[in-house]
Amino acid sequence: MWISSAFGQAPVALATLEQSLKTTETAWVNLARDLDNQLARLLPCDAAAAGLIQGVSAASQARLAASTAYFKASADRAAADIVVARNIRDGEQGRVASIPAERTDTEQERAAIESQLRNIADSVRAKPGLASAEFQLKQLETMTRERATLTGKQVADGPGIVEMLNKLIAALAAREAALRQTATAVTSETERWDKYYAARLGRTRTECTVTGGGR
């Protein structure tokens, strides 16, 4: 699964490029593996010989172009994932930074409610009609206590979440770098294969000349 899909971005374009890579790879392999056998059955000056070599060369170029497009797009996707992860990380850092103030406010609110509860508890005995107000204050005190507990948990968990996001960002950056390096390597491979098929074609023409078929 692509990281981007986890962030809600469907990797449709990458799936298309990956399929193109597989298709062109298969086409090239099927042509290349039988090239020598087919050339061996032809005379040096047979025009079909040059056509065979040129066909395999074209298939090689298509395969490597598809490979380059796929790895570059994958690197771009990784770069986009880094932006998303950084935004999440920055948001989490901001939230963690705001927790101490929120915690202070919650503790002050809870202290005020507890003070009111103590005061109203004495009044309830004299004025039973205040029981409903006491009940509501107790509910509010419970909610405030739960919020304080949650805030405390966020204080404890926040740094760990930020650290996990930092590790994710580092991993995505390493992935992007590796994918771009692979795309560059494919470009170099393209040049090598072009030279190889050019040499095969040149050898065929030389054999034609040597045998006198090119006269």
Band of pLDDT at residue 76, cut at 50, 70 and 90: very high
Q: Which two tokens stand for residue 183?
A: 């795309």
Structure confidence at residue 1 (pLDDT): 39
Select from 92, 95, 96 the least CA-distant residue to 166: 92
Residue 78 in any domain: the answer is yes
Q: Are 13 and 69 in contact (CB under 8 A)?
A: no
Residue 215 in any domain: the answer is no
Residue 2 in any domain: the answer is no
Name the residue range of residue 102's domain.
10-210
Domains identified in the chain, total number: 1
Structure confidence at residue 69 (pLDDT): 93
Residue 205 in any domain: the answer is yes
Average pLDDT over residues 168-193: 92
The model's pLDDT over 132-177, given as tens digits with 9 standing for 90+, comes to: 655 665 666 666 666 666 655 555 566 777 888 888 899 999 999 9
Select from 73, 81, 77, 80 the least CA-distant residue to 186: 73
Residue 86 in any domain: the answer is yes
Count of Cβ atoms closer than 10 Å to residue 57 Cβ: 21
Residue 4 in any domain: the answer is no
Q: What is the SS3 assignment for 57?
A: helix
What pTM did the predictor assign? 0.66
Residue 99 pLDDT > 90, yes or no?
no
Residues whose CB falls within 8 Å of the CB of residue 55, separated by 6 or more in sequence, listed in order: 31
Residue 3 in any domain: the answer is no
Give the up-direction half-sphere exposure of residue 112: CA atoms within 13 A in the CB hemisphere. Answer: 8
CA distance 167 to 184: 26
7-11: Cβ within 8 A, 24+ apart: 7/81, 7/84, 7/85, 9/80, 11/77
Select from 16, 22, 15, 31 the least CA-distant residue to 67: 22
What is the CATH classification number for the domain harbouring 16?
A: 1.10.287
Structure confidence at residue 51 (pLDDT): 93
